[in-house]
Amino acid sequence: MSQDALAAPLRLPLPDTVMRGDVRWSYAVPIAAMHLLALAACLPWLFSWTGLVAMVVGVHVFGQGINLCYHRLLAHRSARVPRWLEYSLVVVALCCMEDTPGKWVATHRHHHNHSDEQPDPHSPLVNFLWSHIGWLLVHNGGTHHIEAYRRFAPDIFRDPFYLRLERGLLSVWVYLAHAVLFFGAGLAVGWIGGGFAAGIQFGLSLLVWGVIVRTVVVWHITWSVNSLTHLFGYKNYETDDHSRNNWFVALLTVGEGWHNNHHHDPASGSNQHRWWEFDITYYELKLLEKLGLATKVVRPRHLRHEARETREAVGA
């Protein structure tokens, strides 16, 4: 893609593999239902400061199941962690209801392979709403197909644990189980402190704020990487797409919004290429490395090049 093309106000048609009019009900219904249920947060009876704190903290804790695990560990293999930790982080990610790891990884790698080109599953060059949410609501044979999974995520689908998640409704049960835990914890604490009615109120508060609202917020934060960071921001690198560094999305996603940096160097565990482009997800990855829980953390490309040149100089 030329520099002139990057500057032009391009418009892309929908991917050829999109089945027009074929609504993907397994996605559309839960997305609509969760947004409607989240409106319960407007009821004063369901508000609690604990619920609000659970939502804010949960956006980071559960959201890192997507940012750190699905994205950097699985999609780009930016580091290695023990299997027990990787699987635990996957369970956390499933509590965001953003699909199984195999499907998520396959779609993301497909995006990188065709970023802002016609086959891209969620380019905003179609339109903003398409990139943000519309692409999830219709069937796309290019990504929702066994051949796409085999091509873009063979390493994931070879793993028996991940293969098990693709079969049946285990991922759904994981989400429902964590929702029950939130409600049950609130019910128990509220009951002990003020009786059964208080327990019901506090349990529902934690369920609505700590689970439902948090899930919807994490969705929109994740989707903003697909939409906003391919439309608004600045570029450190002339990549073959419209990726941008967007400070607002970077703040919401604790580092994922430095998207032009990421598309320039997808394998890197760090999206921080300038001192002020803070990447908290990378700091957490480095913390895991310090604790001995992460190995083979991929450094930014310029550091990899410097290390290679140093090795070559020493070898010479």
* pLDDT tens digits along 201-244: 999 999 999 999 999 999 999 999 999 999 999 999 999 999 99
14 vs 127: CA distance, rounded Å: 9
For 59, 62, 86, 212, the CA distances from 51, given in Å and listed in that order, are: 12, 15, 28, 11
Q: Do the domain assignments include residue 7?
A: no
Helix, strand, or coil (residue 300): coil
When divided into structural domains, the chain yields a total of: 1
pLDDT given at position 3: 42
218 vs 60: CA distance, rounded Å: 9
The token pair that represents 242 in the structure block: 């419209």
Average pLDDT of span 169-179: 97
pLDDT of residue 2 exceeding 90, the answer is: no
pLDDT given at position 4: 39
pLDDT given at position 82: 98
Q: Do the domain assignments include residue 276?
A: no
Band (145; pLDDT cuts 50, 70, 90): confident
Q: Do the domain assignments include residue 277?
A: no
pLDDT of residue 96 exceeding 90, the answer is: yes
pLDDT given at position 251: 98
Average pLDDT of span 165-170: 93
Q: Do the domain assignments include residue 70?
A: yes
Q: Do the domain assignments include residue 162?
A: yes
pLDDT of residue 85 exceeding 80, the answer is: yes
Closest CA to 227 of 115, 121, 123, 100: 123
The token pair that represents 106 in the structure block: 């396959």
Q: Do the domain assignments include residue 177?
A: yes
Q: Do the domain assignments include residue 258?
A: no
142 vs 11: CA distance, rounded Å: 20
Band (312; pLDDT cuts 50, 70, 90): low
Write down the mean pLDDT value for the chain. Answer: 93
**Nearby residues of 202 by Cβ (< 8 Å), 6 or more positions away:** 48, 50, 186, 187, 189, 190, 193
| Helix (H) / strand (E) containing 7 | helix 3-7
Domain of residue 162: give its range: 24-235
Q: What is the pLDDT of residues 8-38, one digit of tens each?
A: 456 888 898 887 779 999 999 999 999 999 9
Helix, strand, or coil (residue 204): helix
pLDDT given at position 305: 75
Q: Do the domain assignments include residue 149?
A: yes
